[in-house]
Amino acid sequence: MALRLALASAAVCASAAAQPPADLRERLAACAACHGERGEGVDGSIYYPHLAGKPAGYLVEQLQAFRDGHRHYWQMVWLAQYMDDAYIAEIAAYYAAQPPHTRAADVTAAPLPPAVQARAEHLVRHGDAQAGIPACTACHGAALTGLEPAVPALVGLPQDYIVSQIGSWRDGTRRSKAPDCMAGIAAKLAPADIRILAQWLSHQSPGAHDRPAPAGSFVPPLACGDLPHAEVQP
């Protein structure tokens, strides 16, 4: 229900993405300090993720997770605790309609060592069959820009944010709808590979027109609780 509400709201808001109504702008003021005025991110941030252009369904699920005790970052828990589903859907629709984030998070760092680059690209494109880890692209898309309605982009996220989120799945302080595929994947990733993936992803720059892939454009290999095809699994 929440996903349908978010997607409907996104369609309505898409034509007015540049400037939110006055009442919504007041609601978003608290978000802007960490995520940028339009969710584009804040230059120099080593932790806070961008929100602009991410699938509305994903943003709905994350705000609900903070509200409902499935994610535990205290600032977000405090902000989300009194939000109802309609309020959440309106905020998610606004950010989903914004132009996608286009900057790498780590633009000043030195190039990655060749061995790190090679290992990261192998995990991203092919996974690790021996460890039971699928390729990142299998669920997040060939360009890692996500999949509607609920799979986020990975490119351009801050390194520390990626490490912390995978760590949260490993220790159970971040949870998704069951079956929680990311928790299983995070448990199989070696700590060194987590750091390598985070380094590589933070170096990548999304394209100016890189939107999440349309729903149904490819089928992820795992039946996860937050993926559309998982809803029909027995």
List, as residue ranges, the binding site for heme c. 31, 34-35, 76, 136, 139-140, 182
Give the ranges where 127-231 is alpha helix by DSSP (H): 136-140, 159-171, 181-188, 191-203
Secondary structure percentages of the chain, helix, strand, coil, to 5: 50, 0, 45
DSSP state of 173: S
How far apart CA 225 and CA 211 sit, in angstroms, is: 22
CA dist., res. 126 & res. 189, Å (int): 14
**Can you tell me the distance from the alpha carbon of 172 to that of 166, in angstroms, rounded to the nearest whole number?**
10
Q: Which residues are annotated as a binding site?
A: 31, 34-35, 76, 136, 139-140, 182
CA 214 from chain centre, in angstroms, equals: 16
